Amino acid sequence: MTTSSCNIEVQNITQVFRGPAARSAGGKFTAVDDVSFNLTSDPPGITSLVGQSGSGKSTIARIILGLQKPTQGSVTYRGKDIYRLSRQEYDVYRREVQPVFQDPYGIFNPFYRVDRVFWTAIKKFQLASTRQQGLARIEESLHAVDLRPEDVLNRYPHQISGGQRQRIMLARVHLLQPKFIIADEPISMLDAAVRVLFLNILLDFQQKYCMSTLFITHDLSTAYYVGGNILVMSQGQIVERGNVDDVLTHPTHAYTQMLLSSIPVPDPDARWQEKADVALVEDAPSAVELPDIEVLG
Ligand SMILES: Nc1ncnc2c1ncn2[C@@H]1O[C@H](COP(=O)(O)OP(=O)(O)OP(=O)(O)O)[C@@H](O)[C@H]1O
Ligand SMILES: [Mg+2]
């Protein structure tokens, strides 16, 4: 793989589905419609992909992760089409672009202890030469996401909480040190305190390890909290994009305005922006201030 700048360039991707679910003429349904954007790693940043259910967000994530070839268009990494990489180049891509999904429970095998998630990664990517070295790396990665090894190692997935499972996926990301994280609704199943903790870990990874994130959410306030850029999707198309502060303060597209106005606010006279400032930025505890959150599983 070349050493050219490692951006992920999504170029004019279109995804057409066929079958009974297809709702337009000819049994075809365009889930993603001519979408283009870049994710840059230098400088690292967070890009939120926001839109209502069914707007095509997860389809884009799957295409970027190499799980589904688009009907048209391309995704390039380091200047190469990811669907035309050699086996060796694809292995590099699979390491440098890591997924975090909504429901980590579905990813864990219930018959194996959670440790296996780490050992599989260590083995696959040859991250340690001895068991002791491997264990030291696992413990370091668990500490990086505020988990105590003794609380989670040697346990089965059902013996730890949803928040712990999701943070184990972040610890796996820490172990692999990818350049990009593709996070598809990673916090929608977590409670409010663990959500903030999770988001702060993502921000921490960006600053400390230069990891960039595509953060998929249907929640504008979360996008506002993580900052960076935002892509607003509606019916398979990106209808608005830019710096998250600008877009949410001065939305130009009717769809973004509608999404903003649909955020419930306790005081009808108050602007959402002010509420978001208070609720998410000033009051939000940082990861450092939340050392040992006990989450009920
Ligand atoms: N394999 C498939 N075959 C047919 N239709 C599909 C397939 N995958 C997704 N779709 C359809 O494509 C559209 C976009 O789906 P997608 O999962 O990308 O939406 P989303 O924005 O992630 O929604 P959500 O917020 O609910 O997760 C939906 O209408 C979905 O039903
Ligand atoms: Mg989805």
| Tokens at 190, concatenated | 């977590």
- From 49, 58, 187, mutation site for ligand 1 pocket: most ligand atoms within 8 A of C-beta: 58
Q: Per-residue pLDDT tens for 101-142?
A: 887 667 788 899 999 999 999 999 999 999 999 999 999 999
Domains of the chain: 8-32+45-282 (3.40.50.300)
Share of the chain above pLDDT 70, in %: 84
The answer to whether 255 touches 239, Cβ cutoff 8 Å, is: yes
Which of 10-24, 199-213, 263-277 has the least mean pLDDT?
A: 263-277
**pLDDT band at residue 290, thresholds of 50, 70 and 90?**
very low
Mean pLDDT of 144-164: 94
The amino acid that residue 42 corresponds to is: D
The answer to whether 58 touches 182, Cβ cutoff 8 Å, is: no
**Three-class SS of residue 121?**
helix
Q: Does residue 228 come out as left (phi exceeding 0), alpha (psi in the -120 to 50 range) or beta?
A: left
Which residue is closest in CA terms to ligand 1's atom 24? 53
Question: CA 87 to CA 43: how far, in whole Å?
Answer: 28
pLDDT, position 134: 97
**pLDDT band at residue 60, thresholds of 50, 70 and 90?**
very high
- From 53, 59, 64, 71, mutation site for ligand 1 pocket: most ligand atoms within 8 A of C-beta: 59
Give a three-class secondary structure readout of 49-67. EEECCCCCHHHHHHHHCCC
Mean pLDDT of 151-173: 93
pLDDT, position 28: 86
Indicate if the pLDDT at residue 21 is higher than 70: no
Mean pLDDT of 156-164: 91
| Close Cβ partners of 143 (under 8 Å, ≥ 6 residues apart) | 149
260 versus 229: the higher-pLDDT residue is 229
Ligand 1 contact, 69 CB (< 6 A): no
Ligand 1 contact, 134 CB (< 6 A): no
The answer to whether 65 touches 96, Cβ cutoff 8 Å, is: no
Neighbouring-strand partners of residue 28: 18
Strands 180-184 and 97-100: parallel
Strands 28-39 and 80-81: unpaired
Which residues are found with C-beta within 5 Å of the ion, ligand 2?
A: 58
The answer to whether 201 touches 170, Cβ cutoff 8 Å, is: yes
Q: Per-residue pLDDT tens for 186-216?
A: 988 888 888 999 999 999 999 999 999 999 9
